[in-house]
Amino acid sequence: MGVIHPDITLAETLPSGYYNDSEKYSSLLEKFASTWSFIGLESMLENDNIVPVTIGDIPMILTKSESGYHCISNVCTHRGMILCDKKTTSSTISCPYHGRSFSLSGEFKHMPEFSEVKNFPSSADDLPSAQVVNWHGLLFASFSTDETFEQYINAVEQRMNFFNFSKLVRVEELDRLHKVSANWLLYVDNYLEGFHIPYVHKTLNSVIDYASYQTELFDNAVLQIGEGQEVRDCFEIPEGHQDYGRNIAAYYWWIFPNLMLNFYPWGISVNVVDPLNVSQTNITYFGLVCDSSKIGVGAGGELDTVEHEDQWIVESCNIGMESKLYQRGRYSPTMEKGVHHFHRLLTE
């Protein structure tokens, strides 16, 4: 049997070593490269051609050329220099170390002082690339050919088919960068249960109906549904949809391993959990709005307050994970299905 028992009523939670051991941390990051990763928004390339991004801990560059979007390695094929550390409008990628240059799709173009080098250039001198998909203005990349993008996004695509994706506009005032002093797993664990809402988020608790809070599991995703107290702050769901007739204030989607798509009647808050090292994590929010008249109300109203309350929790648990007197706990079968599912996906 694996680390996490498949039966939640018998299972113990992830051992504390997963949260504070550097080797475990590195091996978990490898999982990022085995699936699709959110790498940015189409709108980020409106004015620039080159944007540095990461897939797990792999430095990459997102580019836009005439042939479309590309996600290519940010490491020079000569001696390993990082090619770019900020976004630019440049139409070539030039290495700041010895001047090797590449096209926006990663093909080797030129290298000074290499005319005598035999069998050069070869395909090994091009920058390795990942495939890129543009989904309603959200860009995703993958190295793997095992899982298609359709398989990856299927659960969200099916359930949210009534959502007005075509109206989405990036609103940068809603963007945030939160630096959290905790292991990234703690942030995801906390996101995946509504159990803590009445204890930690008093304001949020007053707008959502805790009793009907619901968690659904999918192969690579978890959906949490918060029903609202006020009909006017809820989605208008068309007849024929499985959620028709329900007062849904928020669909909280998490997709393995580190992407959260929070759907509110005003739009989507895209949250990306970026591990920096074993005990530090960046949380980036991108705001995409389809109905600005609904910003600031309902479940997606006080996002900054909720975020700070959550950060206090995960930073405190990060200290707890260091204690010799804590190893692991148990799950609530009614409230912690999502956390159990995440831990199983991680340790499979």
The size of the interface with ligand FES (CB under 6 A), counted in residues, is 9
Q: Which of residues 7, 22, 97, 305 is near ligand FES by CB under 6 A?
A: 97
Nearest residue (CB) to ligand FES, 111 versus 141: 111
Q: Is 207 helix (H, G, I), strand (E, B) or coil?
A: helix
- Of 59, 63, 41, 42, the residue nearest 51 (C-alpha): 63
How many residues form the binding site for Fe ion (CB under 5 A)? 1
Please state the closest distance from residue 86 (CB atom) to ligand FES, in A. 17
H or E element, residue 53: strand 50-55
Q: Does 189 bind Fe ion (CB under 5 A)?
A: no
Q: Give yes or no for a contact between 37 and 79, defined as CB atoms under 8 angstroms apart.
A: no
CB 194 within 8 A of CB 213: yes
* Residue 114: CB minimum distance to ligand FES, A: 10
Helix 337-347 and helix 184-191, axial crossing angle in degrees, nearest 10: 140
Among 31, 78, 241, 246, binds ligand FES (CB under 6 A): 78
Q: Which is nearer to Fe ion, 130 or 260 (CB)?
A: 260
If one asks whether residue 95 binds ligand FES (CB under 6 A), the answer comes out as: yes
Task: Give least dist CB 220 to ligand FES, A.
Answer: 37
Neighbours of 92 (CB within 10 A): 12
Q: Is 110 in the site for ligand FES (CB under 6 A)?
A: no
Q: What residues from 117 to 156 belong to the interface with ligand FES (CB under 6 A)?
A: none
Query: Quick one: 126 or 310, whose CB is closer to ligand FES?
Result: 126
* Dihedrals phi, psi of 250, to nearest 5 degrees: -160, 140
Residue 136, contacted partner among ligand FES, Fe ion, none, CB below 5-8 A by kind = none
Q: Which does residue 82 bind out of Fe ion, ligand FES, none, counting CB within 5 to 8 angstroms by kind?
A: none
| Interaction of residue 81 with ligand FES, rule CB under 6 A | yes
Helices (H), 129-180: 149-159
Nearest to 59 by CA among 123, 141, 136, 181: 141
Environment class of residue 240 by beta-carbon count within 10 Å: exposed (0-12), middle (13-18) or buried (19+)? exposed
Q: Which of residues 240-279 bind ligand FES (CB under 6 A)?
A: none
The pattern of x and - marking residues 299 through 338 that bind Fe ion according to CB under 5 A reads: -----------x----------------------------
Residue 39: CB partners within 8 Å, gap ≥ 6?
53, 55, 60, 62, 71, 132, 139, 140, 141
Burial of residue 59 (CB within 10 Å: 0-12, 13-18, 19+) is middle
Cα 224 to Cα 262: distance, rounded to the nearest angstrom: 10
Q: Indicate the residue among 56 and 301 with the shorter CB distance to Fe ion.
A: 301
Nearer to Fe ion, 31 or 196 (CB): 196
Candidates 64, 100, 294, 337; binder of ligand FES (CB under 6 A) is 100
| 84 belongs to the binding site for ligand FES (CB under 6 A) | no
Q: Where is 22: in which H helix or E strand? A: helix 22-29
Q: Which is nearer to Fe ion, 310 or 336 (CB)?
A: 310
Within 58-215, residue ranges assigned H as helices are 149-159, 184-191, 197-200, 202-207
| 95 binding partner (options Fe ion, ligand FES, none; Cβ < 5 to 8 Å by kind) | ligand FES
CB of 207 to Fe ion, least distance (A): 14
- Contact positions toward ligand FES, by CB under 6 A? 76, 78-79, 81, 95, 97-100
Q: Which residues of the shown chain bind Fe ion in the complex (CB under 5 A)? A: 310
